[in-house]
């Protein structure tokens, strides 16, 4: 049977499917393996997420960030071509192998931190860090980890009148769950949640709904029961998984922390990609795609491969910079605690 060809690429095997895209293992005209995201052009939001992902990937080249290869179009679809990572994602790794030894977790952490440092240095937030969005280069005992899926990534804009809550709840920083302005420290909470899951085989906090999840984060002490974890490891996790962002590690302190690396990693950015405010952690409210002059529904709720975005229109931002979370939770009827499997 002849293999399917699209936009000059051969599709060999479907390796993932979600509401945002179907992902195929494929080959280019030189028979090199690639990953191809096939995305419908029918949904405006999906198109916006694709634009954002391509914009970020074209700006940044780093061993710990999945490499952009190509973007093709047809009348019905976009084809986002990326480097192929034979090891699957970190979620699949955890399901197959369970929790890992602290030495392995630290090795993984250093690579995640290296990719995130470059992203933050270019004044972007990922906003959806989770095991499903971290790829493994191969199935060896020492794979290269690569940050992926930048559909929710954003630059740091000026504050505006719309507030966006997005990400995957179990890895989402509490300030986002509270519908407050947030900054790069929100990504660091997510890294802490991922590291915790690597070490303990479970997420640090859970709940039957978002309000319960937030309450558990704010009232439940971080538990290390069931594993032998070094004192520095426990201290580092507590420094990341603190519900008040003002008490959480900054990006710079995170990168320079002995548990991550003895020194910040060497990175390569395109000229001008890193500004003088690379580590500036000014809070912001992410702006929706909707124009100020256009009417908007109270909430736009979407399920994107286990990640969610809730865009809420408000007349003005309160002095605290936060919108009332109760409105978002009442509208978040499609919320599901567990990520959907692809």
Beta bridge partners of 71: 80
Cα distances (angstroms) measured from residue 170 to each of 215, 300, 323, 326? 13, 20, 21, 19
148 phi and psi, to 5 degrees? -145, 175
Q: How far apart are CA 273 and CA 295, in angstroms?
A: 35
C-alpha count within 13 angstroms, C-beta hemisphere, residue 250: 10
The answer for residues whose C-beta is within 8 angstroms of residue 22's C-beta and 6 or more apart is 14, 16, 37, 38
Q: Is 339 a catalytic residue?
A: no
Which residue in 89, 128, 149, 183 is the catalytic one? 128
Q: Which of 52, 255, 288 is nearest to 166 (CA)?
A: 288
Rg (CA), the chain: 20
Tokens for 191, please give them. Answer: 């890294």
Q: How far apart are CA 8 and CA 31, in angstroms?
A: 11
Residue 37 in marked binding region:
yes
Tokens for 270, please give them. Answer: 């395109």
The answer for residues whose C-beta is within 8 angstroms of residue 295's C-beta and 6 or more apart is none
Q: Which of 115, 23, 35, 22 is nearest to 70 (CA)?
A: 35
- Write down the residue that tokens 């710079």 correspond to: 252
Q: How far apart are CA 332 and CA 328, in angstroms?
A: 6
Angle between helices 185-200 and 231-240 (to 10 degrees): 140
Q: Which of 87, 194, 98, 96 is nearest to 143 (CA)?
A: 87
Beta bridge partners of 154: 125
Q: How far apart are CA 180 and CA 168, in angstroms?
A: 16
Q: Distance between alpha carbon 212 and the CA centroid of its chain, in Å?
A: 22
Query: Residues forming the annotated binding site for ATP?
Result: 37
Query: Residues forming the annotated binding site?
Result: 37
Residues forming the active site: 128
């Amino acid at each position: 049977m002849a293999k399917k060809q699209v936009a000059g690429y051969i599709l060999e095997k479907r390796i993932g499917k979600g509401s945002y895209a179907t992902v195929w293992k494929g080959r280019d005209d030189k028979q090199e393996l690639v990953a191809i995201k096939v995305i419908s052009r029918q949904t405006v939001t999906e198109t916006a997420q694709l634009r954002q992902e391509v914009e970020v990937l074209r700006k940044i080249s780093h061993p710990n960030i999945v490499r952009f290869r190509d973007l093709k179009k047809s009348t019905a679809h976009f084809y986002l071509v990326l480097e192929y990572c034979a090891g699957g994602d970190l979620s699949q790794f955890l399901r197959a192998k369970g929790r890992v030894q602290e030495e392995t977790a630290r090795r993984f952490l250093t690579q995640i931190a290296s990719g995130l440092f470059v992203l933050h240095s270019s004044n972007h937030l990922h906003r959806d860090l989770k095991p499903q969005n971290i790829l493994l280069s191969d199935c060896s005992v020492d794979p290269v980890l690569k940050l992926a899926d930048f559909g929710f990534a954003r630059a740091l804009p000026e504050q505006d009148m719309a507030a966006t809550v997005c990400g995957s709840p179990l890895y989402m920083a509490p300030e986002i769950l509270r519908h407050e302005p947030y900054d790069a420290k929100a990504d660091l909470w997510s890294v802490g949640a991922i590291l915790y899951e690597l070490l303990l085989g479970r997420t640090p906090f859970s709940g039957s709904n978002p309000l319960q999840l937030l309450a558990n984060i704010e009232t439940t002490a971080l538990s290390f029961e069931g594993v032998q974890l070094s004192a520095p490891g426990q201290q580092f996790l507590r420094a990341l998984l603190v519900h008040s962002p003002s008490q959480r590690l900054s990006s710079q302190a995170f990168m320079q922390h002995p548990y991550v690396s003895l020194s910040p990693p060497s990175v390569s950015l395109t000229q001008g990609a890193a500004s003088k405010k690379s580590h500036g952690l000014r809070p912001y409210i992410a702006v929706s795609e909707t124009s100020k002059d256009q009417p908007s529904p109270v909430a736009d709720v979407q399920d994107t491969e286990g990640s969610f975005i809730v865009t809420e229109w408000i007349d003005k931002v309160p002095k605290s910079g936060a919108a009332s979370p109760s409105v978002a939770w009442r509208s978040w009827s499609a919320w599901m605690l567990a990520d959907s499997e692809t």
